[in-house]
Amino acid sequence: KRNYLLRVGYLALLLITLMMAYASVGLRSYGGLAQRAQRQAELGVAFFMFFSMFCVFAMGLVGPVLTSTAVGSERLGKTLPVLLMTPIGTWQIITGKLFSRLLAALTLVGLSLPVLALVRLLGGVELDQMVGVICLCTAFAISSAAIGLFFSTMINRAYAVILLSYATQMFFYAFIPFVLIE
């Protein structure tokens, strides 16, 4: 049930974001064929920019939420010692928990691929740029989920893990580049 709500919420927010992109560009139906094609390309670029920013931001928010209870729930259910006694290695357990929880985030990236098909139809954006954004969203989802999983190994409370993960992301992605700018 949670997965379906996550998907519906993600797609609803993506639709609102694309409606804002459409409102920012706006298409007028008058003008020649070349002018209409140029306006469609501008709309495609606006859709792509809004989609890129939304997807990266959403993956940064969703990743820690998905992994916040990965290890803490094992500890609270008192199943962690049993899991550690299996012949599976520690790294295998952690990567298995990471990628099993990350599958939901990567499903969200896959659900937004029709938007890129629309952008491709409108024009103005090359295919390698689209692939780059998908790779960036995937890498951002993996890194944010890994941060959440790291704090999940130390803290049992899900809300504390999520807030600490967000603070760490703000430190890495906002504060450090701000300080390093000359």
Answer yes or no: are the C-beta atoms of 123 and 40 closer than 8 Å: yes
| pLDDT of 15 over the 90 cut | yes
Cα 95 off chain centre by = 19
Cα 71 from Cα 32, distance rounded (Å): 60
Single-letter amino acid, residue 115: V
What is the pLDDT at residue 182? 65
Q: Dmax of the chain from CA atoms?
A: 72
What is the pLDDT at residue 27? 63
pLDDT interval class at 53 (50, 70, 90): very high
Which two structure tokens, joined as six digits, stand for 180? 């390093």
pTM: 0.82
Cα 75 from Cα 28, distance rounded (Å): 59
Cα 13 from Cα 93, distance rounded (Å): 33
| pLDDT of 156 over the 70 cut | yes
What is the pLDDT at residue 32? 77
Q: CB neighbours of 74 closer than 8 A, spacing ≥ 6?
A: 80, 83
End-to-end CA separation in angstroms for the chain:
48
Residue range 106-130: mean pLDDT, rounded: 89
Answer yes or no: are the C-beta atoms of 13 and 54 closer than 8 Å: yes
CA distances from 171 to 150, 176, 177 (A): 16, 6, 9
Cα 173 from Cα 166, distance rounded (Å): 10
Which two structure tokens, joined as six digits, stand for 153? 């190994």
Cα 105 off chain centre by = 6
Residue range 64-87: mean pLDDT, rounded: 81
